[in-house]
Amino acid sequence: MNSIIRIAVQKSGRLSEDSLSLIKECGIKFYNGTGKLKSTSTNFPIEFLFLRDDDIPGYVSDGVADLGIVGENELVEKDKDVTVLKKLGFSKCRLSLAIPKGEHYESVRYFDGKSIATSYPKILADYLKSQNISAEIHEISGSVEIAPSIGLAQGICDIVSSGSTLMMNGLKEVEEIFKSEAVLIGNKSLAEEKLAIVDKLLFRMNAVQKGKSNKYVLLNAPNASLDKIIALIPGMRSPTILPLAEEGWSSVHSVLSEDQFWENIEGLRAAGAEGILVVPIEKMVI
């Protein structure tokens, strides 16, 4: 029988859209109708399980799913034995300690003897231990930010992204204790045939990720400044140089990261580059 791998992705929530678009950008087709819990790709040996994110680390460590996409916060909190195959760069957030806005705060010692509400008791307990703080942890599963105002706890430890939820609840962020982003995780004892499929998937994900962080740059330059310009945009192996119809000018094509482009734009213009075009790259294999 031909092998197939099973990947667990969040059914609906902050990870779902980016997880599914990454898979689609890898050229993998599947049907994702509302309410579906399972789906199989029509052009790649992969099957999808749509689950709550809390369950993904456990399903992958038990081998019910071979792969999963989950936030590092959830992964570390659940403490399951899986392999992190790749950081995916989306759903970035932080887990922070916050207290009522009006409180005076000098250091993490503030929390000594206090109570903290959180949905991440393990990460919080590990952090408090590392800081030698003894605090009472109240585990609650949602709406953590209202805990101080209803007298349930004196502080909270919760996910922060823009900070507006804290602000709206009269809280201030005082310590960042954990940084998180979405990761691709894998079961630790995958059979050879499944590993070969995982490698194919990783190859495609890497090509998509590389493409996103790089740009294709085209510009016109006087031949006399080509050396200077090539030094600024060296490209993958070396830039492509094509003669323009106008004597003494060339078109230079190269690939570089967007950051590199912005850093070098003044230099390029100073060297006489004109008609600079920056074009997105869909996939990049090097």
Contact status, residue 138 vs residue 154, Cβ threshold 8 Å:
no
Q: Return the residue of 23, 93, 108, 117 that touches ligand PRT, per CB under 6 A.
A: 93
SS3 letters for 174-238?
A: EEEEEEECEEEEECCCCCHHHHHHHHHHHHHHHHHHHHHHEEEEEEEEEHHHHHHHHHHCCCCCC
Min separation Cβ 147 and ligand PRT, Å: 12
Min separation Cβ 141 and Zn ion, Å: 9
Residues 6+ apart with CB under 8 A from 270: none
Using rule CB under 5 A, residue 54 touches Zn ion: yes
User: Which of 182, 268 has the CB closer to ligand PRT?
Assistant: 182
Using rule CB under 6 A, residue 14 touches ligand PRT: yes
Binding string, residues 45-84; x marks residues near ligand PRT by CB under 6 A: -------xxx----------------x-xx----------
φ, ψ at 208 (rounded to 5°): -65, -45
The CA-based angle 135-136-139, given to 5 degrees, is 130
Using rule CB under 6 A, residue 161 touches ligand PRT: yes
Using the Cα atoms of residue 57, residue 58, residue 63 and residue 65 in order, give the sign of their dihedral: negative
Min separation Cβ 284 and ligand PRT, Å: 27
Binding string, residues 34-53; x marks residues near Zn ion by CB under 5 A: -------------------x
3-state secondary structure of 54: helix
Contact status, residue 75 vs residue 183, Cβ threshold 8 Å:
yes
Q: Return the residue of 5, 7, 9, 15 that touches ligand PRT, per CB under 6 A.
A: 15
Burial bucket for residue 238 (CB in 10 Å: 0-12, 13-18, 19+): exposed
Min separation Cβ 54 and Zn ion, Å: 4
Q: Return the residue of 20, 67, 116, 160 that touches ligand PRT, per CB under 6 A.
A: 160
Q: Return the residue of 180, 214, 250, 264 that touches ligand PRT, per CB under 6 A.
A: 180
User: Which of 7, 93 has the CB closer to ligand PRT?
Assistant: 93
Residues 6+ apart with CB under 8 A from 266: none
Binding site for ligand PRT (CB under 6 A): 10, 13-15, 52-54, 71, 73-74, 91, 93, 158-165, 180
The residues that touch Zn ion, with contacts defined as CB under 5 A, are 53-54
